[in-house]
Homo-oligomer: A and B are copies of this chain.
Amino acid sequence: MPEDERLPQPATPDIDLVTVLHALGDPVRMRLLLSYADGAEHSCAPRDLGLEHLHKSTVSHHMRVLREAGVTTTRVAGRNRFVSLRRTDLDTRFPGLLDALLTAAPQQARTGPGA
């Protein structure tokens, strides 16, 4: 039997652009996106994501928003959940968008308003 399952998420053609932009229009979720940009799977622990200042239930809420928007996928394995970016799905649905975002976001961290 399959040892792991995935949490519910929209099918690729059902990913809505405005919903994705709304999901990414929050500083915490943008930081999560950058964490996931390495293509690897990440646990949900706030300390693994540079979010020690946030309650675990808050992080769980943000990850749900990203998943329901179609940005991430969550694999359930035992008592752990592994979250990763739906890179190919997003590239299929919105070509160039993810690349532009992942280029722009770290660049802004060095040269932008917050620097």
CB proximity of A30 to chain B, nearest CB, Å: 5
Q: Residue A24 at the B interface, CB < 8 A?
A: yes
Give bound CA distance, A99 to B101, whole Å.
12
Give bound CA distance, A115 to B19, whole Å.
16
**What residues on B are CB-neighbors of A13 within 8 Å?**
111-113
Give bound CA distance, A112 to B30, whole Å.
24
Number of interface residues of A (CB under 8 A): 30
Q: Residue A40 at the B interface, CB < 8 A?
A: no
CB proximity of A28 to chain B, nearest CB, Å: 10
Pick from A44-52, A54-62, A79-87, A89-97 the stretch touching chain B. Answer: A89-97
CB proximity of A48 to chain B, nearest CB, Å: 21
- Taking a contact as CB atoms under 8 Å apart, the answer to whether A93 and B100 are in contact is no
Q: Residue A76 at the B interface, CB < 8 A?
A: no
Q: Residue A25 at the B interface, CB < 8 A?
A: yes
